[in-house]
Structure 1
Amino acid sequence: MVHLFEWLGRKKEKDIFIHTVEHFEKVLESVVALKSAVKLFVEGGNRDELMKLLHKIAQAEHEADIICRKLVHDIATGQILPADHENLLFFVYRIDSIADCAHAAERYMALWEGKFLESAGQDLITMTETALESAEKLKLAVSQLNNRNFKEALDLCTEIEYLEDKGDDQMREISRKVLSSSLPVAHILLARDLIGAIETISDSARIGA
């Protein structure tokens, strides 16, 4: 995120920043819905309610994509220096990838038949909470940056790095439980992809920071 400091410090690209915040809100909406969906998925709740939450994730990801395309157009056609152009595009795409990961996770949950591995269920919920916290802190860091609170923004980036490491540890623990379980091979592979998609949210937040 440091590469955005100078850009915001010398330019008044408020329209682009407003769209960036709007984009981030929609991305966060997908991860908030993911958290609710994972909890219901783990608890073996009502399938229809789960499918509604999964649809909400997919819809938020789709709407985030629409805003992302507008942002890319604004950046490409604006009076922005080449170096800034590249940095902003990277940041926008990295934010968008968070919603992409949430969308991937919901597709894997939709494919799952039956209840998730009981011994790893709470771990999956906790890892999703870590992913959401990472995304929320990145959005807060962007807000602090826009307000020129550089120290606060950098402190948040440090917290995001810690959360990414925490997410890695959580993923390894869940993977260990899944691999040592008696789940069918197809479910083990599906669980691997689901776990990876959720953990990558924290990775994307870390790279964005």
Structure 2
Amino acid sequence: MPDLAGWFRIRREEKSIHLIDEHSRKVFSCVMELVNLVDLVMNEGSPEEVFIVARRINEMEHEADIMRRNVLDVLSEGKLDPSEREDLVHLTKRLDAIANNANAAARRISILNLNYVRMLGEPFTKMVSDAKKCVEKLMETIDALKDGHDVSFLIDEVERAEFEVDQDHLALRKALQDWKHGDVPPFTAITLSNLIDFVEGIADSAEDTADFIRLVSIKKPQKHK
């Protein structure tokens, strides 16, 4: 049985490969749009403008979910080894989790008073940007995988990028401790905390996907003649 990189290389012209590629790029688009949303908020965008972008992210996440189901339908029709099919199913589900987290973060922003989001300031903007970089490295990993290249170094870069987001998360949590009690309503504080967690979830899901690729891309040792 070929490893995952070999599977992509052998079947690069098949419909399933194109669908997986489209799905991964739609997932990344969700993250990119979240970066745009945060930039809009920090640059004094209106609630109406923010709502429009957040709704667009929701629509994109829904499109990604439809693509994921299409991938699963095509895989179920193909003549695949059961373990290969299972690997690809898990890959698409892990990718979809990235879009889910991006959409969840956008939804939290859309229901918050934007002044509270702005109070998170540069540490939050950096965290979102670093989460995007983590997903960018994952996309590079998937592209290299499709071309049959070794991806171990790229997976290491995904993990380093995820660690940076973890550091951002810790720094932001520490900064929030300096906020005075009573400055933020309790429900708003909970929603802001959820927002931060969902951004971290983007990077965590990217790392989880990269770790899975590493696991299933390990080539089985060849038998000696």
Deviations 1:148-192 (A, max 9, x none): 121xx2211110000111111111111222243132222221111
Say whether residues 1:37 and 2:56 are aligned partners: no
Distance 2:174 2:13 in 1: 47
Distance 1:116 1:193 in 2: 13
Distance 1:22 1:90 in 2: 16
2:156 partner letter: T
- Correspondences of 1:94-173 after superposition (within 5 Å): 94-116=94-116, 120-150=120-150, 153-173=151-171
Distance 2:134 2:11 in 1: 27
Q: Which residue of 2 aligns with 1:59?
A: 59
Stretch deviating more after TM superposition (197-206 or 132-141)? 132-141
**Is the 8 Å Cα contact of residues 134 and 162 (structure 2) preserved in structure 1?**
yes
Q: Which residue of 2 aligns with 1:194?
A: 195
**Is the 8 Å Cα contact of residues 27 and 61 (structure 1) preserved in structure 2?**
yes
Deviations 1:78-105 (A, max 9, x none): 1111111111111100101111001100
Distance 1:87 1:14 in 2: 17
Say whether residues 1:84 and 2:84 are aligned partners: yes
Q: Which residue of 2 aligns with 1:207?
A: 208
Distance 1:65 1:119 in 2: 33
**Is the 8 Å Cα contact of residues 44 and 116 (structure 1) preserved in structure 2?**
no
Listed as ranges, the gaps of 5+ residues in structure 2 are 211-225
Stretch deviating more after TM superposition (5-14 or 174-183)? 5-14
Distance 2:98 2:46 in 1: 26
Residues 1:114 and 1:80: Cα distance change in structure 2 (over 3 Å): same
1:42: Cα distance to partner?
3.1
Stretch deviating more after TM superposition (99-108 or 135-144)? 135-144
1:195 partner letter: I
Distance 1:119 1:46 in 2: 16
Q: Secondary structure at the match of 1:101?
A: helix
2:164 partner letter: K
**Is the 8 Å Cα contact of residues 178 and 188 (structure 1) preserved in structure 2?**
no
- TM-score, normalised to structure 1, is 0.91
Listed as ranges, the gaps of 5+ residues in structure 1 are none
Distance 1:168 1:184 in 2: 26
**Is the 8 Å Cα contact of residues 41 and 116 (structure 1) preserved in structure 2?**
no
Q: Secondary structure at the match of 1:181?
A: coil
Q: Secondary structure at the match of 1:180?
A: coil
Q: Secondary structure at the match of 1:116?
A: helix
1:112: Cα distance to partner?
0.5
Distance 1:44 1:179 in 2: 25
Stretch deviating more after TM superposition (109-118 or 133-142)? 109-118
1:118: Cα distance to partner?
5.1
Q: Which residue of 2 aligns with 1:20?
A: 20
**Is the 8 Å Cα contact of residues 130 and 167 (structure 1) preserved in structure 2?**
yes
